[in-house]
Structure 1
Amino acid sequence: MTHPRSERMLTVDQLRAGVADESIETVVVAFTDMQGRLQGKYLHAAYFVEHALGHGVEGCNYLLAVDTEMNTVDGYAISSWEAGYGDMEFTLDLDTIRWVPWLERTVMIQCDLALTDGSPVPMSPRSMLAAQVERAAGHGWSAVAGTELEFVVYRDSFEEAWTKGYTGLTPANQYNVDYSIVGSGRVEPLLRRIRADMWRAGMTVESAKGECNFGQHEIGFLFDDVVTTCDNHSVYKTGAKMIAADLGQSLTFMAKPNEREGNSCHIHLSLRGLDGSTVFWADGERTPLYDHFIAGVLATMREFTLFYAPNINSYKRFAQGSFAPTAVAWGQDNRTCSVRTVGEGSSARMENRVPGGDCNPYLAVAAMMAGGLHGIENELELEPMMTGNAYESDAPLVPHTLREARDLFAASEVAREAFGQDVVDHYVNMADVEITAFDAAVTDWELRRGFERL
């Protein structure tokens, strides 16, 4: 069953009462941008209740048309110098009011984005996921998901890391701490603070564990409906960075911060009936519906990789024997495949192992749902299960570069049918912007390799 709304989330009446007794002084209104980051405003709480609560908040529409460094760039139909960089509305989702425990007397409300005429902004990641949720509901299904997000912790502050050019940093652990109680214990002051604050922010925290890279850890959360999971994911990712900064440390969700193991974001997803009933399993085995769904995700995996791996750096993670997949294949409890099936009965679900820690959760989950629904609607046949080491198989490969993923997405008829022509063009331009910026950069690798020896 999907989970009821957390009792630790706030109602509008509780928000008003908190403002009245001054236990709430600040309201953050935020949405998730193309890069998966929370963007928005800090509003004085009294002003919010008196003025913004009934009318919403506005912001520049360039927020969905910038690169990672917040530079305005060409090529976006939604926003440009020629169009005058107008406003869009932050539509408050009043079911998302939560405490922000890492900030004093602060709550947050997450938002959808609308044009000034009130119509949804189709390129907004949250709107894109909502469209796939609505599509599934039209068939009588809901969707639940959980994300497993890894990060690497450093003893250096974010400011120190910047000053050092992000080189020579001291990882919180200096050896492989995968499942190590000692290794996690060394970082527990940070991990405990993150877990406790995320619980107070309305999430259901499961556990923390060490991972393979030096200083790498993962904190897991209980699955929920897909929009709630992605909302929580965005808040968690932002909060973890702010908590680390408060403790004089830094952490990164980059897909590949160094030559060791990368940061993954494994996504577990299943469909349910609208009443919460199991539809992926019956009579002790997978249902045809489940098989079609997996087949659709696999059929669109290469075309949709742009939403699983959206950055230049994302593709450094796909390496042989790295626990990051290279083969487009599925297997039962097989971690060498891009799709791993897990569980039985009501716990039956598919795990997509392609996304990295840098993915935008709304886009990645929307892509999984769009691919899976494409498989169901067209009754795609599921290929035979992969057994053994998928790294050594002849299965098709995940795209090797952002440029390859961009071209596959641009040519995808399934993407245009699922997301719309304007949305596809928008995200193709996002990839073009990143590729152009990287092609113009002189990297430290080039300098070390060529400064003296060439």
Structure 2
Amino acid sequence: MPLRNGRMLSVDALSGQVRDGRIDTVIVAFTDMQGRLQGKRLHAHYFIDHALTEPMEGCHYLLAVDVEMNTVAGYADSGWETGYGDMCFVLDMATLRVMPHLPGTALVQADVTWHDGTPVAYSPRTMLSRQLAKASALGYQALAGVELEFMVFHESYERAADLGYRNLTPVNQYNSDYSILATSRVEPLLRDIRNAAFAAGMNVESAKGECNPGQHEIGFLYDEAMVSADNTVVYKNMAKEIAAHHGKSLTFMPKFNAREGNSSHIHLSLRGIDDSLVFWDAATGTRSALYEHFIAGVLATMRDFALLYAPNINSYKRFSNRSFAPIKIGWGEDNRTCAVRLVGRSGGARLENRVPGGDANTYLALAAMLAGGLYGIEAELELPPPESGSAYGSDAPTMPLSLAEARDAFADSDMAQQLLGKDVVNHYTNMADVEIDAFSTVVTDWELQRSFERM
């Protein structure tokens, strides 16, 4: 199997490093519904001697729990009634890499299947795999890049929890967007994250400050869509681990406070299997008709698929007027007020989906974008007129502005069932129901402050 790049590990290289003692631990992990790595740490010799050739299993409740890892009702395949059995981990050795910030540790990512080898349909990586297979059958490959923002605080995760995540001290006290001086204050952490990500096989571009005090972004070069999704989930986990090593805390949550939220802008383009340009017409120097159909499909399905871009209660706090987070389902040329921003020309022509926040599961978001875009190509959907100027006041359709609204749009969508499958729709609808029900019982600080004395 060819390596994704020279910094990834082959099985032979891993075996050599295990024999000479450089690696003693191998993490086997898959990505859950919430976009988190879940799995086991194996002794490296056990991994070489057994896990490479023998079945490895984990409880299938891992794809049927809430953020707190509580067992919850409503999932067809996993519950007390089904006995909470196992699913199988199928290693993807193309993802094998060293984790340089964790001594003596390598990591390999896995798909999950049932015992008969059938893929778990609602596993996020399986959902993306199926859309990539459809694209390939139509003659296309997908390339993607992800821009993730995060906020960093001087308090450790433990201290932040003790404080109830209130009154934390950001590493910057002012808007540090593009500021070299401000980012120098947190450069020891950012440098360690960049270098660890590069050593783990990711192609790091840059780091920059952002608008909210303590907010930063590390960018990565685009790659095959599955590679970018695999790297993103590893990077998010790695960034939090390295922040903890520095005695700090780092959050990707979409809306930490009333200022700018954390986005996860996703850039996507198609090329031919032979690497030919399909989004650009070289003869006219303009977008191809196929590109326009693809954009139209992403827009046409955006409201129905909002749950896969914005999966949590907090996701929707990010959508507000003049916030750089979109509320209108429109597109524009290099227009950051639109849900879809078109950037680049020729081989760099791509669309940027500005809807996902830092909590988005990249596999799910890319699967949704591809499903919608490929539908647009097959149906030859017409691209509506672009937004000029600010899209916030336009007459374009509005994004769902709450998890409940997104849940209903997804659950009631014939298009979602057609493009993603009934099992997927039912599963992620239940995920939304669980979060909505959990939040409905919470008494917030806002309610206490307004109601305790004055009501």
TM-score normalised to structure 1 length: 0.99
**Could you report, residue by residue, the CA deviation over 1:2-60 in whole angstroms, capped at 9, with x for unpaired residues?**
x9711100001111111111111000000110000000000000011111111242100
Q: What secondary structure does 2:437 align onto?
A: helix
- Alignment correspondent of 2:268: 269
Kindly indicate whether residue 294 of structure 2 is the aligned counterpart of residue 293 of structure 1.
yes
**Could you report, residue by residue, the CA deviation over 1:227-286 in whole angstroms, capped at 9, with x for unpaired residues?**
100000000000000000000000100000111100000000001101111100012010
- Alignment correspondent of 2:343: 342
Deviation >3 Å, runs of 4+: none
What's the offset of the Cα at 1:443?
1.2
**Could you report, residue by residue, the CA deviation over 1:154-176 in whole angstroms, capped at 9, with x for unpaired residues?**
00000000000000000010100
Tell me if the contact between 1:61 and 1:79 (Cα under 8 Å) persists in the aligned partners.
yes
Mapped partners of 1:70, 1:157: distance in 2: 22
**Could you report, residue by residue, the CA deviation over 1:178-197 in whole angstroms, capped at 9, with x for unpaired residues?**
00001111110000000000
**Structure 1 pair 15–42 and aligned structure 2 pair: CA distance change class (3 A):** same
- Alignment correspondent of 1:53: 52
Pairwise mapping of residues 38-49 of structure 1 onto structure 2 (< 5 A)? Answer: 38-49=37-48
- Alignment correspondent of 2:403: 402
Tell me if the contact between 2:269 and 2:350 (Cα under 8 Å) persists in the aligned partners.
yes
- Alignment correspondent of 2:362: 361
The one-letter code of the counterpart of 1:319 is: S
What's the offset of the Cα at 1:453?
1.4
- Alignment correspondent of 2:125: 126
- Alignment correspondent of 1:351: 352
Q: What secondary structure does 1:110 align onto?
A: strand
- Alignment correspondent of 2:113: 114
Pairwise mapping of residues 309-320 of structure 1 onto structure 2 (< 5 A)? Answer: 309-320=310-321
The one-letter code of the counterpart of 2:154 is: R
Tell me if the contact between 1:269 and 1:350 (Cα under 8 Å) persists in the aligned partners.
yes
Mapped partners of 1:92, 1:4: distance in 2: 15
Kindly indicate whether residue 208 of structure 2 is the aligned counterpart of residue 209 of structure 1.
yes
- Alignment correspondent of 2:186: 187
Tell me if the contact between 1:210 and 1:218 (Cα under 8 Å) persists in the aligned partners.
yes
The one-letter code of the counterpart of 1:204 is: N
Mapped partners of 2:359, 2:55: distance in 1: 30
Tell me if the contact between 2:101 and 2:242 (Cα under 8 Å) persists in the aligned partners.
yes
The one-letter code of the counterpart of 1:43 is: L
Mapped partners of 1:297, 1:276: distance in 2: 22
Identical columns (%): 63
**Could you report, residue by residue, the CA deviation over 1:124-165 in whole angstroms, capped at 9, with x for unpaired residues?**
000000000000011000100000000000000000000000
Mapped partners of 2:343, 2:279: distance in 1: 11
Tell me if the contact between 1:25 and 1:44 (Cα under 8 Å) persists in the aligned partners.
yes
What's the offset of the Cα at 1:118?
1.1
Kindly indicate whether residue 165 of structure 2 is the aligned counterpart of residue 148 of structure 1.
no
Mapped partners of 1:97, 1:297: distance in 2: 32
Pairwise mapping of residues 353-432 of structure 1 onto structure 2 (< 5 A)? Answer: 353-432=354-433
What's the offset of the Cα at 1:447?
1.2
Kindly indicate whether residue 297 of structure 2 is the aligned counterpart of residue 279 of structure 1.
no
What's the offset of the Cα at 1:432?
0.3
Mapped partners of 1:254, 1:216: distance in 2: 11
Mapped partners of 1:448, 1:27: distance in 2: 49
Q: What secondary structure does 2:80 align onto?
A: coil
Mapped partners of 1:78, 1:91: distance in 2: 19
The one-letter code of the counterpart of 1:354 is: V
- Alignment correspondent of 2:33: 34
Mapped partners of 1:56, 1:305: distance in 2: 36
Mapped partners of 2:447, 2:275: distance in 1: 54
Tell me if the contact between 1:294 and 1:375 (Cα under 8 Å) persists in the aligned partners.
yes
Q: What secondary structure does 2:352 align onto?
A: strand
- Alignment correspondent of 1:251: 250
- Name stretches of at least 5 consecutive residues in structure 1 with no aligned partner: none
Instruction: Give the superposed CA RMSD.
Output: 0.9
- Name stretches of at least 5 consecutive residues in structure 2 with no aligned partner: none
Moved more, 52-61 or 141-150: 52-61
The one-letter code of the counterpart of 1:166 is: Y
Pairwise mapping of residues 88-103 of structure 1 onto structure 2 (< 5 A)? Answer: 88-103=87-102
Tell me if the contact between 2:278 and 2:291 (Cα under 8 Å) persists in the aligned partners.
yes
- Alignment correspondent of 2:161: 162
The one-letter code of the counterpart of 2:370 is: M
- Alignment correspondent of 1:449: 450
Moved more, 51-60 or 159-168: 51-60
Q: What secondary structure does 2:95 align onto?
A: coil
Tell me if the contact between 1:67 and 1:433 (Cα under 8 Å) persists in the aligned partners.
yes
Q: What secondary structure does 1:118 align onto?
A: coil
